Amino acid sequence: MEQRKITIVTSTRADWGLLRPLAAALRSRNDVVLSIIATNMHLDPAYGYTVSEIEADGFRVDARVPMTTEAVAKAFGDEADVNFASDDTAAAGSAPDSAMHTVEATAVGMAGVARAFARLRPDMVIILGDRYEMLAVATAATIMRLPIVHIAGGEISEGAFDDSIRHAITKLSALHLTATEQYRQRVISMGEDPSRVVNTGAIGVYNLLKETPMSKAELEESIGLPIDRRTLLVTLHPATMDDAPASRRILALTQALDVFPDSRVIFTYPNNDPDGRIIIREIEAYVARNPHRCVAIPSLGWKRYLSALRYVGAVVGNSSSGIVEVPSTGIPTVDIGIRQRGRMASESVIHCGPDATSIIPAIREALSGQGQQRARRAENPYAKPDTLQIMVEAIMASDPATLRSKRFIDHF
């Protein structure tokens, strides 16, 4: 039996949580040799060094491609941009948050991934989403003529530069696994071959519905905070296309949270996008002022995160998970600001502006009886019962040799 060599590249706690069941399904096949490349946040101690979560799940990490401050400094030496802060309130030394640093880290990541590809020699590469390091991965794979399977193309998030990166990755990819039919049609409209664009549903929703959650007591012991239906799970990422500084956005959120002193708050860290550490600094300060009702956890991990969704009252912030996965748990999402603007959203999602005067009534609505009832009955447009099976079948039915060449398909 001829075996197909497939490489999955993962860079964050979030995408590994989504990719893990797909990795397990592919690894279980006799006709697949699976390899895993871990990069970026997985290898950064400041974000929990979550490569250990991959190994704890029983997978071997075949290549590690660091994109940390140290890796950038090693690559660029004295020319590394380690003294530029992009926020007007940033303190000296907040270099890892600069846009220039992100560009340099992307360059380091591209070179490292290319070396890993040269050693692993995969027949195809699977990547998910829209982050800058995945553009580096897709660029390296394209130049090395490795067919790319892209998960979650066709989506819109106008408030982040991820939006442009996602569409760029679409044009570099050969097989597209989209989360809804609308997103499938959008990918096709970009000149992609309809036979290579498959509506699979969102893998995160599938995983959530299949995962057995921790008990409430186990979760509370793990995070060190009691949880009830007034507890808020909060994740605020930098909205990288926002003209206002990240410090203003996180301060507005914490001011809003002050209005709900009876609500406990579980903060998770943002991604390491530009200005991410500025948000972390303000989160840590807020938790220090409110230790009786708040905790900050760099990475909950997929198991604890999905478990928390079963017991908290609402999710607050601007994470894509609040739009895609959370509606399937029957709780509301408060979606703040512009970061996720343009995504399809369930009736359970409450959109609001990024200022405290907009966030406060949105949280109040989410915790209200009406908001909770609406979330329980809302349908999730990203849900499909057989997402994983569709993904595996689409990947294995595609011949890597034919995927290496693409034609732009005019649809007019």
Residue 195 falls inside a structural domain: yes
pLDDT at 350: 98
**Do 104 and 144 fall within a single domain?**
yes
Four-point Cα dihedral 382, 387, 392, 394, nearest 10:
-60
Contact 282, 254 (CB under 8 A): yes
Residue 305 falls inside a structural domain: yes
Indicate the range of 162-166, 274-278, 296-300, 355-359 predicted with least confidence: 274-278
**Do 151 and 225 fall within a single domain?**
no
**Do 187 and 219 fall within a single domain?**
no
**Do 108 and 33 fall within a single domain?**
yes
**Do 118 and 248 fall within a single domain?**
no
Residue 408 falls inside a structural domain: no
The per-residue pLDDT for range 181-224, each reduced to its tens digit, is 999 999 999 999 999 999 999 999 999 999 899 999 999 999 99
**Do 105 and 189 fall within a single domain?**
yes
pLDDT at 83 over 90: no
Distance CA 211, CA 195 (A): 31
Residue 115 falls inside a structural domain: yes
**Do 370 and 390 fall within a single domain?**
no
Q: What is the CATH number of the domain that holds 303?
A: 3.40.50.2000
**Do 240 and 368 fall within a single domain?**
yes
**Do 173 and 316 fall within a single domain?**
no
Indicate the range of 74-83, 154-163, 236-245, 342-351 predicted with least confidence: 74-83
Residue 412 falls inside a structural domain: no
**Do 123 and 237 fall within a single domain?**
no
Contact 180, 188 (CB under 8 A): no
Indicate the range of 86-90, 243-247, 266-270 predicted with least confidence: 86-90
Distance CA 104, CA 159 (A): 22
Q: Which domain holds residue 259?
A: 213-377
pLDDT bin (cut points 50, 70, 90) of residue 97 is: low
Contact 158, 197 (CB under 8 A): no
First to last CA, the chain: 42
Residue 27 falls inside a structural domain: yes
pLDDT at 87 over 50: no
Domain total for the chain?
2
**Do 293 and 323 fall within a single domain?**
yes
* pLDDT cut 90: percent of the chain above it: 81
pLDDT at 45 over 90: no
Residue 206 falls inside a structural domain: no
**Do 348 and 392 fall within a single domain?**
no
pLDDT at 81: 56
Nearest 5°: the CA angle 221, 16, 59 is 90
Average of per-residue pLDDT values in the chain = 92
pLDDT at 278: 92
Residue 207 falls inside a structural domain: no
Catalogue the E-assigned strands of 212-348. Answer: 232-235, 265-268, 294-297, 314-317, 333-336
Query: What is the CB-side half-sphere exposure of residue 155 using CA atoms within 13 A?
Result: 34
